[in-house]
Amino acid sequence: MAGLLAGGALLSLPALGQRVTTPQGEYMDTTRRLNPKCPGVYPYYYSVKLKYPRSSATLRAEAQAFLRARGGHYAGSGYITFRFVVDCEGRPLPRTQVLQTDAAYQPAHFAPRLVEELYAFVGTLREWPRAKRPGSGEAVNYIALVSFKLTDGQVVAVLP
């Protein structure tokens, strides 16, 4: 569905999660938009030795402040994880998978609004580093993830 609107400006609004379920999993956005300047290589963040340039403690405090400012009250414990590609120019691409588990790592679903608020928070992270392929130095895309550990609706840690 979202693919029909690929390239549309509306889809770049970070708070508009679409929550589409496909055979490959659950997505906040299924739009496939590629940067033509970037080769289609997708190593994971650890293969290019990159993570978002904030400590887990800083991200936890920022995420918690973001939720507080939006005035929501939530429940539930476990993990909400967003996976997406950061292109070779350091821009996150819209297609975003969401994975959710309870605290015992069993598949679960949190309140949709909480998922959408955390997705909106991820959209505020604008300093993704650019990856270079080890050896050649060629700029490449990479797969990033941001995972929120929640206890009783509070963000208690941000992974990785």
Partner 1 sequence: MVKSLLCCLSLLLSLNSCQGQSAPAQQPAADPCANRRYQDSLVTRYQDSLVTRYLENGAQRFGYNHPNWEKYCDSLIAACPNVAEAYREKAIPYLKNGDYARAFPLEDRAVVLDPKRNTAYRAFLKCIFTKDYAGALVDFERAEQLTPGGYEMDHTYWFYRGLCHLELGQLEQAAAALQRDVAAQQGGDQRREPHFNTLFYQGVVELERRRYPQAEALLTACLRIYSSFPDAHYYLALALRQRGQDAASRQHLLLARAGLQKGYGLNEDNVYYANYPHQITRYEVEQALQPAP
CB-wise, 12 or 56, nearer to partner 1? 56
28-36, 85-93, 132-140, 144-152 -> range binding partner 1 (CB under 8 A): 144-152
H-helix segments, 45-133: 56-70, 112-123
Helix, strand or coil, per DSSP, at residue 123: helix
What is the 8-class DSSP label of residue 3?
G
Helices 56-70/112-123 angle, 10° precision: 120
Query: Least distance to partner 1 from the beta carbon of 45, Å?
Result: 8
CB under 8 A: which stretch of 43-51, 66-74, 113-121, 133-141 binds partner 1?
A: 43-51
Among 16, 61, 111, 159, which residue interacts with partner 1 (rule: CB under 8 A)? 159
Return the SS3 of 158. strand
Q: Between 6 and 143, whose beta carbon lies closer to partner 1? A: 143
